[in-house]
């Protein structure tokens, strides 16, 4: 029976030029968590991609930012309140 019957079609991702120290740290972390390096990297990708991008976050912040009040001259305003404008 062909192997494709046992596996779902999924993409493969190859990461090139990973610094040795980063690879070693990732492999050690995966080992300490009892998972393969591939499983740990998939978990990290899922977690990262579940968060908004920096641009999406900034857009959201700007959408919820209060509208700035117009500038005004406090002395002129106080004169108008006191009836001293002239």
Per-residue pLDDT in tens (0 to 9) along the chain, 86 residues:
556 566 678 899 999 999 999 999 999 999 999 999 999 999 999 999 999 999 999 999 989 888 777 788 888 888 888 887 65
Domain extents in the chain: 9-63
Q: How far apart are the first and last CA of the chain?
A: 97
Q: What is the per-residue pLDDT for 6?
A: 64
Q: What is the per-residue pLDDT for 48?
A: 95
Task: Please report where in the chains the tokens 């494709």 appear, as a residue.
Answer: 4
Cα–Cα nearest to 38, from 20, 61, 12: 12
């Amino acid at each position: 029976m062909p192997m494709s019957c046992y596996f779902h079609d999924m993409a493969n991702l190859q990461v090139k030029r990973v610094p040795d120290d980063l690879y070693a740290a990732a492999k050690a972390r995966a080992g300490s968590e009892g998972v393969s390096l591939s499983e740990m990297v998939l978990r990290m990708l899922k977690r990262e991609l579940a968060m908004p991008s920096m641009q999406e976050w900034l857009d959201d912040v700007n959408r919820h930012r209060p509208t700035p009040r117009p500038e005004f001259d406090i002395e002129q305003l106080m004169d108008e309140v006191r009836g001293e404008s002239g």
